Amino acid sequence: MKLSHFLMPTMKEQPAEADTKAHGLMLRAGLIRRLTAGVHSFLPLGWRVIKKIEQIIREEQNRFDSQEINMPVLNPRELWDETNRWTEFGDVLFRLKDRRDRDLCLGPTHEEVITDLARSFVSSYRELPQTWYQIQTKFRDEARPRAGVVRGRQFIMMDAYSMDYTQDGLDKSYDNQRIIYERIYKRCGLDYTIVGASSGLMGGTGSEEFMLMTPDGEDTIITCSGCGYSANSEVAESRLLVESEVVENPPEPEEVHTPDTRTIDSVSEFLNVRPMDLMKSLLVMADGDKPLLALIRGDQDANETKLMTAIGSEFRPMEPHEIQDLTGAEPGFIGPIGWKKKPRIIVDKSIIEGASYITGANKDHYHLKNAVAGRDFPMEEIVDFRIVSDGERCPNCDSKIKISRAIELGHIFKLGTKYSKLMKAEYTDSKGGDYPIIMGCYGIGLERIMSGAIDLHSDENGICWPASLAPFDFSIISLMQSESGIMEKAEEIYDKLTGLGLDVLWDNREYNPGVKFKDADLIGIPIHLIIGKSFLKDGTVELKNRKTQERRTIKPEVAVEEMIKLRHEMLNELKESVDLMK
């Protein structure tokens, strides 16, 4: 491809809309262009990278006999009603009506459609296992799109689905996808950490995320260097540095006047106690319109995702008037003691049975001292829903944990029979019994791989693409083009490389050398061949490694051979990291 006829609108400066390093480089290098919030066009360079990622994904999925399919983006409401996710997905789901007033949605994921296919075509255990996958555009109406293509409202995803008739079969399918994902990321030149994760709206019996550590990440990851424990903050646990102490022979609860003290800080200051001596009472509406009281130690905060998992449904904080109607007290004076009809109560693990706390008295401007957990209020549902803090102790080995930011590259789930039971996707076993198909689902964000690669492989001058993802294999930069022999030699080498089926971008523009060099470094093609001053001086050309900036002078006669050799070395580095998995 000759750059004089190639769409590559580069920018000198970081655009104001860029909110991460990778986002800025995508815009500056002319990979993408924003259309509206969370929606981008891929320009030729960016689309070439996406196609390279697709190729790697297909090769690795096909290596394990996965079968590629394509499912509709438009989904009828009826399928989503079968799993109740038409309601559960809430505002994230793009909804529309056709001309006959039928409800449809734009698929954010395809569990319902794949389960419908399975119940249509799988009837016997002899037809299992199966793994089907697609690479397709998805839609989610994100409240706060960010980081360019990382959290968009329209994105490209590889979603795979496995179907088995035994739990062992699911475990094997899941492990196969785990291996596939690792091979994909290694071939893309990505470092990753596998962490335990929340299954969220996908449901199922367990899941893991593949994370790229980066300061620009939107996720929070907890890791332990002592034992290797790692988890997303949405499921991570830790040990508190200081735990509440069990009280021997505690007195009965005592009502104390606490005028206008509605916060943990104001109550602890007024009563001259530590925040950890208090207990927060969080009143929410769960599972539609059912009140629920969540209790947590005063110096801790609730993680909404962990709390949702503990509750088993989505929830919302109760409005002040709802709290007043239910308890007779204002927010800030609520507690678990003295209810006429107790709501469901969930207690965080930071509350220790037998320890004494200060809590709201369900009476305006009053609190209760000496509220003993397990004596004065029930400890029946004890779960972990607090936010883990840096420096706390690992739940497994007691070493210090570390909190880092990360980008989610992919997510794998053991769905079990959640969808097959609801949608009656069954197989017949060898004895004639009918059972729900045991399923798994596995998702990779292609734009996230692109963004992660840029984040990991870039410097002050621009992108340094891994050879496996580069939009072109080589960049030829011809300088002093009016001088005799320059263009002829550039075209000769260009023709030889393209004749071998290699992708070459030849910068044949009538620009000064500084502009050409800056653009070449910015777009990050891994190998540059410079034909200019040295060619006029002694008939040589320069071979440059974009990542290391190393340059060496070679004869034009061996240029093609040396360029291919350097590319093979770069690809072999990636291949060796994959081979180490064996």
| CB-based contacts of 555, cutoff 8 Å, min separation 6 | 539, 540, 541
Is 440 or 228 the better-scoring residue by pLDDT? 440
**Helix (H) or strand (E) run with residue 277 in it:** none
Q: Rounded to whole angstroms, what are the CA distances from 257 to 263, 328, 360?
A: 14, 16, 11
- Lowest mean pLDDT segment, chosen from 139-143, 196-200, 219-223, 249-253: 196-200
The one-letter amino acid code at 110 reads: H
Residues 39-95: tens digit of each pLDDT: 999 999 999 999 999 999 999 999 999 999 999 999 999 999 999 999 888 889 999
3-state secondary structure (DSSP) of residue 439: strand
Q: What is the distance between the alpha carbons of residues 107 and 155, in angstroms, rounded to a whole number?
A: 11
**pLDDT level of residue 200 (50, 70, 90 thresholds):** low
pLDDT reported for residue 169: 97
Is 196 or 107 the better-scoring residue by pLDDT? 107
Evaluate whether 214 touches 406 at the Cβ level (below 8 Å): yes
What are the strands, taking DSSP E only, across 118-234?
130-139, 154-164, 193-196, 206-213, 219-224, 230-232
Identical fold at 18-69+109-236+402-455 and 254-383? no
**Exposed/middle/buried for residue 378 (C-beta within 10 Å: 0-12, 13-18, 19+):** middle
Among candidate residues 521, 499, 484, the one with its CA nearest the CA of residue 507 = 521
Mean pLDDT computed over 296-316: 91
**pLDDT level of residue 126 (50, 70, 90 thresholds):** very high
Q: Is the peptide bond before 343 cis (omega within 30 degrees of 0)?
A: no
Evaluate whether 391 touches 401 at the Cβ level (below 8 Å): yes
3-state secondary structure (DSSP) of residue 163: strand
Is the pLDDT confidence value at 204 over 80? Answer: no
In CATH, the number for domain 254-383 is: 3.90.960.10
**pLDDT level of residue 393 (50, 70, 90 thresholds):** very high
Percent of the chain exceeding pLDDT 70 equals: 98
Give the chain's mean pLDDT.
Answer: 94
**Helix (H) or strand (E) run with residue 143 in it:** none
Among candidate residues 16, 21, 18, the one with its CA nearest the CA of residue 464 = 21
pLDDT reported for residue 183: 96
Among candidate residues 401, 415, 434, 438, the one with its CA nearest the CA of residue 129 = 438
3-state secondary structure (DSSP) of residue 449: helix
Evaluate whether 415 touches 204 at the Cβ level (below 8 Å): yes
Q: CATH for 18-69+109-236+402-455, among 3.30.70.100, 3.10.20.30, 3.30.930.10, 3.40.50.800? A: 3.30.930.10
In CATH, the number for domain 463-579 is: 3.40.50.800
pLDDT reported for residue 207: 86
The ranges assigned to domains in the chain are 18-69+109-236+402-455, 254-383, 463-579
**Helix (H) or strand (E) run with residue 245 in it:** none
Q: Rounded to whole angstroms, what are the CA distances from 492 to 329, 483, 489, 559?
A: 84, 16, 5, 11
Residue in the block written with tokens 């292609």: 446
Is the pLDDT confidence value at 202 over 60? Answer: no
CA angle 219, 223, 226 (to 5 degrees): 175
What's the Rg (C-alpha) of the chain? Answer: 29
Residue in the block written with tokens 């607090």: 386
| CB-based contacts of 221, cutoff 8 Å, min separation 6 | 193, 195, 211, 213, 230, 231, 232, 233, 403, 404, 405, 406
